Chains A and B, each alone.
Chain A
Amino acid sequence: MNYQAIRAAIENPLLTAFGALVPAVPVYFDNITAAPPNTTTEYVRVNVTFGLTNDPTLTSSVDNARGAIIIRIFTEKGKGPARVQNLLTTAANVFETLSNAPKPATGVFVRTGAINGPMFSSTEDAPLFMGSIDTSFIATVLT
């Protein structure tokens, strides 16, 4: 099992998509500290978590993993939901692209599940407005 290859297959398209926006939106992955929110007007946080590995009900292959991808987008507070929703659309498009990609001969084959959300949150103390979506994934490492 190559967890790092699976993580890269999920994170790279997200980094590319948000980097291609004008202006580019910074993306922070697991175990990377984002700049303090009060000094950043908007950013994306991506969490990739793993659940079952090599579950026999997935396939007979021994290189399968299931998990969840959670995208949280933080934008300026008090300016409506439009910006956060536009950025969530970028993330949702990446999920769909991942799910529609043809199966490669080698490498990592990722399929995403239903997209939950978006959900929005903005507490009084929080300096930014948050929108989030999440989806399940099944990844197969092909050799």
Chain B
Amino acid sequence: MRNDLKDLPKKIEAALFAPFILGLARSAQGIVKELQEAGPSWSGKFANSWEIASSSTVSSGTGAEGAPQRLAAPMLTPEEYKFKPEIKYYIANKAPYADVALDLKEGDFEYPGFEPRKEAKRGTRLSGIRGDLSGTEGPNRSTAPLDWYRTYIQGGGLDKAINLYMQESMRNVRL
């Protein structure tokens, strides 16, 4: 009984923070889902190579071929939620060719012997950047528009996802 009372403040705190912690986790999961949908997907390995990391735990995608698998974010502890670092989650892609898929670096491309699992735009790739295709006919194909990642990050997609999921979780708060 005495121990129960001793833990009571912690339990109250955990219950108080739970909707916010859940909201952040769902935001991170929603961002990964949107990145999986917006990004390129030929075999599906890249879309399944995202990972969500908190300061103590990493949740990694399987890196498997096929349709995008949903990734569960690690739950923050009340301490992680309350205190620094300010950034609670890091989202990154661990595929070895991630920079090429994100249109950050030039790549070398060759037909893998099977068709893409996502609809592809056709054209001619001159610069070596994945999505930089000219024209509508040509030998090269791209399954996501040029600069899809930077558009998502800088064009407002990120804020939209966080707002959306945070609002959804806030509706369940009982004060």
Q: Which residue of B lies closest to A137 (CB)?
A: B154
Chain A CB within 8 A of B146 CB: yes
Give the one of A52, A68, A135 with max B CB within 10 A: A68
Pick the interface stretch among A4-12, A29-37, A83-91: A29-37
Q: What distance in Å separates the Cβ of B15 from its nearest Cβ neighbour in chain A?
A: 30
Taking a contact as CB atoms under 8 Å apart, the answer to whether A52 and B135 are in contact is no
Chain A CB within 8 A of B137 CB: no
Taking a contact as CB atoms under 8 Å apart, the answer to whether B155 and A66 are in contact is yes
Contact bitstring B95-115, A, C-beta under 8 A = 1, else 0: 000000000111110000000
A-B contacts, CB under 8 A, total:
84
Taking a contact as CB atoms under 8 Å apart, the answer to whether A125 and B128 are in contact is yes
Taking a contact as CB atoms under 8 Å apart, the answer to whether B147 and A47 are in contact is yes
- Chain B hits for A55, CB < 8 A: 156, 159-160
Pick the interface stretch among A15-23, A103-111, A116-124: A116-124
Q: Which residue of B lies closest to A37 (CB)?
A: B126
Taking a contact as CB atoms under 8 Å apart, the answer to whether B154 and A134 are in contact is yes
- Chain A hits for B124, CB < 8 A: 33
Which residues in window 137-157 of B have CB below 8 A to A?
145-147, 150-157
Which residues in window 77-95 of B have CB below 8 A to A?
none
Chain B CB within 8 A of A81 CB: no
Q: What distance in Å separates the Cβ of B96 from its nearest Cβ neighbour in chain A?
A: 14
Q: What distance in Å separates the Cβ of B80 from its nearest Cβ neighbour in chain A?
A: 27
Taking a contact as CB atoms under 8 Å apart, the answer to whether A74 and B127 are in contact is yes
Chain B CB within 8 A of A59 CB: no
Contact bitstring A70-90, B, C-beta under 8 A = 1, else 0: 101010000000000000000
Taking a contact as CB atoms under 8 Å apart, the answer to whether A49 and B151 are in contact is yes
- Chain B hits for A45, CB < 8 A: 127, 132
Q: What distance in Å separates the Cβ of B174 from its nearest Cβ neighbour in chain A?
A: 27
Q: Which of A33, A50, A51, A74 contacts B135 (CB 8 A)?
A: A33
- Chain B hits for A36, CB < 8 A: 126
Taking a contact as CB atoms under 8 Å apart, the answer to whether A125 and B155 are in contact is no
9 contacts between A and B (CB under 8 A): A49-B150, A55-B156, A55-B159, A67-B151, A68-B147, A72-B127, A121-B105, A123-B108, A136-B155
Q: Taking A47-B146, A66-B155 as given, write out 20 further A-B residue pairs in contact, using a Cβ cutoff of 8 Å, ordered by the A residue number.
A: A34-B126, A34-B127, A37-B126, A49-B145, A49-B147, A49-B151, A49-B155, A50-B151, A67-B151, A68-B151, A68-B153, A68-B155, A70-B147, A72-B127, A119-B104, A121-B105, A122-B106, A123-B106, A123-B108, A136-B154
- Which A residues fall within an 8 A CB radius of B? 33-34, 36-37, 45, 47, 49-52, 55, 57, 66-68, 70, 72, 74, 113, 119, 121-126, 128, 130, 132, 134-136
